[in-house]
Amino acid sequence: MRCTNCGKNIEAEDNWVEFSCPKCGKTKIVRCEKCKKLENTYKCADCGFVGP
Ligand SMILES: [Zn+2]
Ligand SMILES: [Zn+2]
């Protein structure tokens, strides 16, 4: 599994989140601790939704 934001492999990380796209609910968004902290935006590959 990789962080949706930075592409980092999060399997070795402790602190990360996985959630479904708030718009289409189809795509899983994965964010590592760093991207969570920085509040990087993510983009859904399915519907193009961009969110914090
Ligand atoms: Zn990241
Ligand atoms: Zn979506």
Give residue 27's pLDDT: 94
Which helix (H) or strand (E) segment is 34 a member of? helix 33-38
Distance 14 CA to ligand 2 centre (A): 25
Distance 30 CA to ligand 2 centre (A): 13
Give residue 51's pLDDT: 87
Give residue 52's pLDDT: 82
Ligand nearest to the CA of 4: 1
**pTM assigned to the model:** 0.82
Give residue 2's pLDDT: 93
Parse the chain into domains and list their residue ranges: 1-52
The tens digit of pLDDT for each residue in 1-52 reads 999 999 999 998 999 999 999 999 999 999 999 999 998 899 998 999 998 8
Contact partners, residue 21, CB within 8 Å, separation at least 6: 27, 28, 29, 44, 46, 47, 49
* Residue 7 to residue 33: CA distance in whole angstroms: 12
